[in-house]
Amino acid sequence: MLHVVRHGRTEANASGLLLGRLDPDLDEVGERQAAAVAAAVGPVDRVVSSPLLRTRRTAEAFAVSGAGAVEVDERWIEMDYGEFDGRPVADVEPATWAAWRADLDWAPPGGESHRSLGRRVRAALDDLFEASRTAEVVVVTHVSPIKAALAWTLGVGDEVAWRTFVAPASVMTIGAGPAGPSLRGFNDTSHLSAVR
């Protein structure tokens, strides 16, 4: 089974900022979320993480359960928001959002497009998928790569990113059927009900 987990909360997330390649740590709530999501998923055989601190710290909660060292894979890093990184979401002009939604090749100035992100995430998933048939694999990553992983799982285009929501410390579960990947769960946050 493949479990794709969003990192726990950071202060920047809680403040409504676009958070791409900036590298803040988890806040106190995020630390509790990391422990809760690791406990909910249970023992795993392998843990893969984005290189950013918020994901590596979340991944460490899984490693404590006996999975061994966290493997860092650059392909799971968050979308590069370029000049938008660290800006409040509300400060991005409506016309910019419209252009972004209308074109998978559009990218923020100095940043990355959805199509580019989708290519790298699909390659990472292709490398992990066979292993997930016989092992419990966790990937700890970010909003945009999770949305790209959903598109890969469902066999749809990356424009699905605009129609989905991914909460901090949520889990997407992907099974390996005879015909390929199958979605078993998405944006599961049931393990966070007691986390404050």
Catalytically annotated residues? 7, 78
Closest of 7, 20, 49 to residue 113, by C-alpha? 20
CA-closest candidate to residue 168, choices 54, 84, 90: 54
Tokens of 161: 């990113």
- CA–CA dist 5, 139 (Å, integer): 6
Could you tell me which residues are beta bridge partners of residue 137? 2, 46
CA distance 51 to 32: 20
- The helix/strand/coil state of 195 is coil
